[in-house]
Structure 1
């Protein structure tokens, strides 16, 4: 059985040996340190585990500029989102080794190769397609510090997660898929609970491959998105009740949502390739926010990346057609007598304590959401 190669050809490992780890901890007081957020801490761990292969650390200037303007690393490999470390510490110089800390938690060492300034407006316009500060990704970019540190990282301590049983590293998912005998694996990205449209989409993809990897983003989201624990519990009951047991794996991707639309779709595909997926589902408005992106912009961008090395599966919007008597989509249904799966409408019902109808959401999923009290990020 052959398995898809990681992006760039090999799975990166930037975790220190126990001996080197102890030495860093013992000498920690001798190093300068940079505070990092919980989300950046997770991305340091994602670099260390190989999930962001071929990255070995934070982007240096040449890669940073190439990502912004070419959507590729300087060696030509597809890569669409900068992974950067911002700082206002003027004492850090190129060649230094600097500790990364989240509060008192010592996360990693960064071997500083470059320290450079950047244009935040250009960053925002290239990555998010807008400089409007109402866009959450643009707002975050404008709040970043003025200098970036580029260089390889070495992970010292991994953080704890309450969702540890789903927090698999790419080496682990690859082994799991191999054990299951899955040669073709389709990945599904989500930041929402599942309605029947999502379920139909996943099962449609599953008919063409050996296994389905449901891979929700666990991390910082915008106000009004579903909370992590609600997303996971809703998928647990859905899989238990409506999916074949030997064909589905639920695992989490611990990172923040960037809301970068089409660029984030490419990034999400690369990450799933590193997990061992051969295919990746791209639906309507992937990683979008508001009306900043065309509903199918995330599908169109794949034309720029014939060399990405993972097969995208494109799906239109699904809906319930009363005349067909079931869930379908525009490709196969000619009728207008339809009920769209409106996330907004379902959200409004949930907020008022009402159960979404059975032709929109499985009752078990609705129960999970309603019993949670407040299922949304505040």
Structure 2
């Protein structure tokens, strides 16, 4: 299997760079006033009644519940460090089981196998993109226990078991299909990440604070109706009318059962530089959710850091939504795609991600629901482009 073969992309290397990516979570002393969820507890990890089985068969839960145990773990740390926005997203999804079956950041062997083969060693489970912890610190070495913090809030104890220097050019070529800095994911790996990656296990202490709540997979699962299809809709931008038509019409798709429901599950973590910041996007989602109340539509929010990796990121999204209880995944034109910051050309073909998802969907046990090519017409509103052409409607 050669993952890079799915990309219809350019492979030239350039040295131009675009701006930094939008931060969403506020770390350090300059955070805005935020809601606290100190008493929030993970609900029981259960898959009873839901069609979707977590990736690997079991939903991971690394959050320590006992306060005395938390105190002991905090005191056992050799030193503490501040998490950046991307590290915070990855740490949270490891703690709460969103990245099941992982129980920590990848060691070198796991990293290499995922980069080259999209497989976890041992289990051979599909995994779209590597989950790594980057650093430039000399003291981040095997054997050290590191307290990971968001401001003054302790998020997790990280026991380092591996330290290695990755081949970032190879990583980008395999994961993004290109090595040019015109790609936002390549730019992130090359200019934001440290020189070394460290792997090891995590013990969760607290979920992050933010201005909006991102429920855990267990909590989302507890709200879903048993025995029905759950269709996930992913987006990283404000939902516009065509998006709304897509996820409401998905309930009538031939792949979806008659009692199916939709989970609108936008990512609210860092993304590419010219996207609208996550905290602003969230406010638009709240308004739209209120205006379009529907008993078959649920809204939740995902603390995920976008890579704009096209086909391979589609697999990552499907896997994560499976852990949240979803059986189906709406996948649109140029899913998780991006354009060159210089030429504006697309890095991936319009249907690369759809084709890749269809190929791997059966193994993941997540059914891709290809999005309709909708257009707005004066006569009938939103219809498919095919219907508009056949009926001679004006777009």
What TM-score comes out, normalization by structure 2 length? 0.78
Distance 1:6 1:308 in 2: 10
Matching residue of 1:206: 251
Question: Structure 1 residues 274, 329: closer, same or farther in 2, change over 3 A?
Answer: same
1:88-114 superposed Cα distances (whole Å, 9 cap, x missing partner):
222333233222234443321112221
Matching residue of 2:136: 88
Q: Does 1:281 align with 2:326?
A: no
Matching residue of 2:29: none
Matching residue of 2:366: 310
Matching residue of 1:224: 274
Matches within 5 A, 1:315-334: 315-322=371-378, 325-334=380-389
Offset at residue 303 of structure 1 (A): 4.1
Residues 266 and 301, structure 2, Cα contact 8 Å, conserved in 1: yes
Matches within 5 A, 1:152-301: 152-164=201-213, 167-178=214-225, 181=226, 183-207=228-252, 208-209=256-257, 210-244=260-294, 246-290=295-339, 291-301=346-356
Matching residue of 1:36: 83
Please tell me the root mean square deviation across aligned C-alpha atoms, in Å.
2.0
Question: Structure 1 residues 109, 223: closer, same or farther in 2, change over 3 A?
Answer: same
Residues 233 and 262, structure 2, Cα contact 8 Å, conserved in 1: yes
Distance 2:104 2:134 in 1: 13
Residues 74 and 157, structure 2, Cα contact 8 Å, conserved in 1: no
Question: Structure 1 residues 333, 217: closer, same or farther in 2, change over 3 A?
Answer: same
Distance 1:331 1:64 in 2: 43
Offset at residue 125 of structure 1 (A): 1.0
Q: Name the count of aligned residue pairs.
A: 331
- Structure 2, gaps ≥5 residues long: 1-48, 340-345
Partner SS, residue 363 of structure 2: coil
Question: Structure 1 residues 201, 303: closer, same or farther in 2, change over 3 A?
Answer: closer
Residues 217 and 254, structure 1, Cα contact 8 Å, conserved in 2: yes
Offset at residue 34 of structure 1 (A): 4.0
Matching residue of 1:54: 101
Residues 34 and 87, structure 1, Cα contact 8 Å, conserved in 2: no
In structure 1, which of residues 65, 68, 74 is the aligned counterpart of residue 115 of structure 2?
A: 68
Question: Structure 1 residues 241, 89: closer, same or farther in 2, change over 3 A?
Answer: closer
- Structure 1, gaps ≥5 residues long: 340-378
What TM-score comes out, normalization by structure 1 length? 0.82
Distance 2:156 2:277 in 1: 28
